Amino acid sequence: MKKISILGSTGSIGRNTMEVVSRFPDRFKVVGLAAKNNIQLLERQINACSPEVVAVFDEAAAEELKKKDLSVEILTGDSGLGRIATLENADMVVSAIVGSACLLPTLAAVRAGKDIALATKETLVMAGSLIMAEASKRRVRVLPVDSEHSAVFQCLEGRRKDEIKRIILTASGGPFIDMEASVLDGVTPEKALKHPNWEMGRKVTIDSATLMNKGLEVIEAHWLFGMPAEKIKVLLHPQSIVHSMVEFVDGSIIAQLSVPDMKGPIGYALSYPGRFQNVMEPLDLSKAGELTFREPDRTRYPSLSLAYEALRIGKTMPCVLNAANEAAVEAFLNRKIAFTKIPAVVSDTIKQHSVSDGSTIEDIIDVSNWATAKAGEIIDTLSN
């Protein structure tokens, strides 16, 4: 039986992970759960799986949960997250906390020798070199949970690297794929949060609308699969049926297809190298309709170009890209800046950064904090 801890258990990935695990009680035991402040859902999860320890990042929420008398140890803050990530008897950690907050607990899990089911792309965007070096050193498997990277991982199974011409990541294009660019400036958070295919968290959904999500995935793919920027291509695929593809040197392409359901890649990461039965609804190609692909318009989606630029520059620049984007997305959701100003904030922050090696986790955190502060200054000028 595989014992797992889930970082971000009340988020979209965490909820789907709990559903997958509940279908195979003879295969999994959840020993640790970590959440931010959704104690209502966390209480239900505790009752469903009886973990040994839970962590609630928000201290006030943790105190409320303690009043429930749930017969489980309840931890708080960063130290609590770290404890869940490094539980001695956990075999695998599902890393699903959104954004940069997942970096330190994921690194702690890797250093503790835990296999990682990675759903948080920001971890590798910020510190891909450090994370992958530690994983290699400790013989830890980093298994992708993002649907696109899971698709690539499956397409590459048993293939030699010299056979690969390029990776092709697909993107839905978000809710505004066919909207006139001239009206994007007036887009509201409510409209931007209505993704046509996927149910995701607020930050990821906005990133999908700007295509920054795909840019971050390009950087993540670089670290997961050892591919340079010029060998990672993005295509818009509004139907979200083909989750990604790999093109080989002989001109052939292998694609991974399924209905848009995160339980598929979650199940594959948890069961690897095997596969579970009946994890998600099967894909009926006779009813799937037309599958279309097209090049993304870089003028419409400037965030994608910014991500490629950050990857090519390397070192600490992807970390700056990520932190500035997090600040800009939060500002948009709080109605401080227009939708079209999100990439502008990121671009201006990148231009003001002096690149460094970022050779330690302390360096990465310092750079991320600098970028967050700088982006905040830029946001203030735009919102005044």
pLDDT of the chain along its 384 residues, tens only? 999 999 999 999 999 999 999 999 999 999 999 999 999 999 999 999 999 999 999 999 999 999 988 989 999 999 999 999 999 999 999 999 988 889 999 999 999 999 999 999 999 999 999 999 999 999 999 999 999 999 999 999 989 999 999 999 999 988 888 777 777 888 888 888 876 666 667 888 899 999 999 999 999 999 999 999 999 999 999 999 999 999 999 999 999 999 999 999 999 999 999 999 989 999 999 999 999 999 999 888 999 999 999 999 999 999 999 999 999 999 999 999 999 999 999 999 999 999 999 999 999 999 999 999 999 999 999 876
Residue 100 backbone dihedrals phi, psi, to 5 degrees? -70, -15
Query: Quick one: pLDDT at residue 271?
Result: 95
Query: Quick one: pLDDT at residue 194?
Result: 79
Cα→Cα distances 175→146, 184, 241, Å? 19, 11, 16
The first and second tokens of residue 254, run together, are: 């292998």
Question: Which residues on neighbouring strands pair with residue 357, listed in sequence order?
Answer: none
Query: Quick one: pLDDT at residue 174?
Result: 80
Q: Which residues have CB under 8 Å from 183's CB, separation 6+?
A: none
CA distance 130 to 56: 27
Angle ∠(232,261,201) on CA atoms, nearest 5 = 80
Q: Residue 138 in contact with residue 110, Cβ under 8 Å?
A: yes
CA distance 326 to 354: 19
Domain ranges of the chain: 2-144, 148-301, 314-384
**Among 337, 312, 348, which residue's Cα sits nearest to residue 231?**
312
Considering the domain 314-384 in this protein, what is its CATH number?
A: 1.10.1740.10
CA distance 68 to 146: 34
Q: Residue 328 in contact with residue 212, Cβ under 8 Å?
A: no
DSSP state of 68: T
Give the CATH class of 2-144: alpha beta
CA distance 92 to 264: 18
Query: Quick one: pLDDT at residue 384?
Result: 65
Look up tokens 């990682």; give the residue.
Answer: 116
How are beta strands 142-144 and 53-56 bridged, if at all? unpaired
**Among 64, 15, 59, 3, which residue's Cα sits nearest to residue 39?**
64
Q: Residue 2 in contact with residue 29, Cβ under 8 Å?
A: yes
Query: Quick one: pLDDT at residue 199?
Result: 66
**Among 116, 356, 312, which residue's Cα sits nearest to residue 222?**
312
Q: Which amino acid is at 2?
A: K
CA distance 122 to 362: 16
Burial of 338: CB neighbours in 10 Å, binned 0-12, 13-18, 19+: middle
How are beta strands 73-76 and 53-56 bridged, if at all? parallel
CA distance 267 to 297: 33
Query: Quick one: pLDDT at residue 178?
Result: 77
SS3 279: coil
Q: Do domains 2-144 and 314-384 have the same CATH topology?
A: no
CA distance 24 to 33: 18
The first and second tokens of residue 290, run together, are: 């037309």
Chain mean position to CA 236: 19
CB atoms within 10 A of CB 312: 11
Query: Quick one: pLDDT at residue 179?
Result: 77
CA distance 243 to 261: 11
**Among 317, 341, 311, 313, which residue's Cα sits nearest to residue 329?**
341
